[in-house]
Structure 1
Amino acid sequence: MTAPAAPPARRLGIAPGLALCLSVALACTWLRDATGIAALNPVVLALLLGIALGAGLGRPAPLRPGIAFAAKPFLRAAIVLLGLQVTLGELAGLGAAALVLAVVVVAVTLPCTIWLGRRLGVDPALSQLIGAGTAICGASAIVAANQVARGRDEDVAYALAVITLCGTAALLAFPLLGEVLGLSARAYGLWAGAAIHEVVQAVGAAAAGGPEASQSGTIMKLARVVLLAPAVLALGLLAARAASRPSARVPVPWFAFGFLGLVLGGSSGLLPPVAAEASRQVVPVMLAASVAALGLSTDPRELRRRGMRPLLLGALSTVLIATLALAGIALAG
């Protein structure tokens, strides 16, 4: 039996808040495109503008249903569509050693960050979000992981700020470090793709090493993106183990299976190439709209109360993944 369609009144109730979030996303995307500054990530800009609007306007009742829709169902749809941007053929071109390295950096960085967060006294949900953002793919991983980590909106906002700051520092430092270390173009690209957080940051850093570095870095980063679904599933299992009651409801990240389904669909040729190209245009706007909704729901005072420990956690996690990736590349030759 198919689920009944949403009543027209409910769809109209969603429209004002969703329109506001999409307007913020489109404005931030336009600003990045108009300036040509790739570092102006529309997702981060949407978060900042959302927080500013929320502080100034609050959340009027007519906007709340649409904001809630953008923060969850709309976000999950964006993550599913992200699967169109990766194919198994591209990943196979990296070689077995590089693929193993991608798995290792994610499999080690995520739990180690959670462990470090516990030692530093950082809230577990916030530690999971910082770990996911560092280990996998920045903002996309943070908002996806929060579907099972169930952190507060302030946790998401803080994690996004930490990952943006640490990823930007890596973007600036990696080209200099690559020269000092004497890495080949391919090795440098793999290092950038395996260690830097956001896709745009990793690709930008890899491009500084030339065409070969750019190609290897981009595909290595996509290999980490594919691991988003298994990582979210693992965090869901962690939530199940941490549940205090046997009957506690544990979230099942069904969107992760949708993500994997589109990876397989795109890889098999069942889906036309135009679908992947369309997703590259649509998904960033959808993610920015979802993060704008989170910003509208964020209390800046709560961000200040988090203190500096989560920032220290992000810095330590960044050093960890960079060191681990470099060691893996050295061992693989």
Structure 2
Amino acid sequence: MSIPFHVSPVDTVLVSARRILPGVALTACVAAVAVLLPRLLGLPALSPLVVAMVIGIGLRNLLGPVEGSAEGVAFSMRRILRFAIVLLGLQLTVRQIGDLGLGALAVIVLSLIGTFFAIKLAGRLLGVERGLAELIAAGTSICGASAVIATNTVTRARDEDVAYAIACVTLFGTLSMLLLPLANQALGLDAASYGLWVGASVHEVAQVVGAAFQGGDEAGQFGTVAKLSRVLLLAPMILLIGALASRARGSQGGRAPMPWFVFGFMAMVVLNSLVALPEAARGVLVPGTSFLLAMALAAMGLTTDLRKLRAKGLRPLALGAFGWVFISLVALGGVVFL
């Protein structure tokens, strides 16, 4: 008679840890390089998230998949990403949003919602796949690469779509960072108005900081808070996209996953509003969150095949350009009206 062999829960955890460790270590190394490289190059506005994805894509397409890393890379792309988005809530407070005033909040909300649905409509007219159009819409209207990868938890697009969407929002966000300060020399907006325009229209937080502070400290601070207000809207937008996806898949019996991490994000915003975190803790949490997001983007790059990316063609790029122009003009119109 054979004696049954029982595996303890501790052994199961250790086996799982050994299986994911190589891939997690690989994404952590890529993220570390991505965080250090902008500092070494003297380009603080260069997002470590984008650098991590580019390095990951380079490794994947030059060397091929790294043996034994698949499970850990997938862990970084899903579990670590969601944990990082929860921690992102600790960088926002309800008071910051209120300090902007109702008029500024209206400009931000209307620009975001109008841009999201305008890009979705334009994507349909251009023949861009629904999932890719939603990712470009989220990245353009909310907060760049972070919004793209967070939205994909409910959109469930292919990895190549995610990489393409991030490339779009990075390209056009960088153009905004360079061109908006020049445009303001002709427009002559005051510091608060210029900061609001930048915060309501530029894609990435780092790009907002780079563009807004060129208008002075007041413009920089106003632009940063305006941008963080857009980040706060990431949570309800993901819930809305998930509900739309569930309805679209209803006839096929499918269902979009419930993004529970979004509720964690909102809980952290509330916690940060009620309890003042020690500066020492904040000094660890802010760069730590950025590092975890960079790990997720590194994982995304490590699974991206450029041959599939090239097959997407130029229509998604045209869609990203349309969204960039649309949100810039709508936000400017709102600022001028306000």
Tell me which of 183, 186, 190 is aligned to 1:180. 186
Q: Is the 8 A contact 1:207 1:214 kept in 2?
A: yes
Q: Which residue does the alignment assign to 1:90?
A: 96
Distance 2:175 2:243 in 1: 32
Q: Which residue does the alignment assign to 1:150?
A: 156
- Higher mean displacement: 238-247 or 29-38: 238-247
TM alignment of 1:1-333, pairs within 5 A: 7-245=13-251, 247-269=253-275, 271-332=277-338
| Structure having the higher Rg | 2
Normalised TM-score (structure 1): 0.95
Distance 1:186 1:60 in 2: 49
Q: Is the 8 A contact 1:117 1:127 kept in 2?
A: yes
**Cα offset for 1:5?**
10
After superposition, the Cα gap between the structure-2 partners of 1:254 and 1:6, relative to the gap in structure 1 and judged at 3 Å, is: farther
Normalised TM-score (structure 2): 0.94
RMSD across aligned C-alpha pairs, in angstroms?
1.6
**Cα offset for 1:259?**
0.5
Q: Is the 8 A contact 1:266 1:272 kept in 2?
A: no
Residue 310 of structure 1 aligns to a residue whose secondary structure is helix
**Cα offset for 1:164?**
0.7
Residue 168 of structure 1 aligns to a residue whose secondary structure is helix
Q: Is the 8 A contact 2:245 2:255 kept in 1?
A: no
CA deviation vs aligned residue, 1:140-163 (integer Å, no higher than 9, x gap): 101100111111110111111111
**Cα offset for 1:249?**
2.5
CA deviation vs aligned residue, 1:88-146 (integer Å, no higher than 9, x gap): 11221111111122111111111111111111111111111111111011011011001
After superposition, the Cα gap between the structure-2 partners of 1:242 and 1:5, relative to the gap in structure 1 and judged at 3 Å, is: farther
After superposition, the Cα gap between the structure-2 partners of 1:6 and 1:330, relative to the gap in structure 1 and judged at 3 Å, is: farther
Tell me, which stretches of 5 or more residues in structure 2 are unaligned?
Answer: 1-8
Distance 2:322 2:309 in 1: 20
Distance 1:176 1:183 in 2: 12
Q: Tell me the matched-pair count.
A: 330
Distance 1:313 1:151 in 2: 17
Q: Is the 8 A contact 2:45 2:209 kept in 1?
A: no
After superposition, the Cα gap between the structure-2 partners of 1:107 and 1:6, relative to the gap in structure 1 and judged at 3 Å, is: farther
Letter in 1 for 2:241: L
- Higher mean displacement: 165-174 or 99-108: 99-108
**Cα offset for 1:203?**
1.3
Q: Percent identity?
A: 46
Residue 192 of structure 1 aligns to a residue whose secondary structure is helix
Distance 1:76 1:36 in 2: 30
**Cα offset for 1:10?**
0.2
**Cα offset for 1:51?**
1.1
Q: Is the 8 A contact 2:111 2:330 kept in 1?
A: yes
Residue 215 of structure 2 aligns to a residue whose secondary structure is coil
Letter in 2 for 1:261: A
Distance 1:221 1:274 in 2: 24
**Cα offset for 1:305?**
0.6
Distance 2:12 2:72 in 1: 14
**Cα offset for 1:244?**
4.7
Residue 141 of structure 1 aligns to a residue whose secondary structure is helix
Residue 68 of structure 2 aligns to a residue whose secondary structure is helix
Distance 2:12 2:147 in 1: 29
Distance 1:60 1:315 in 2: 34
Tell me, which stretches of 5 or more residues in structure 1 are unaligned?
Answer: none
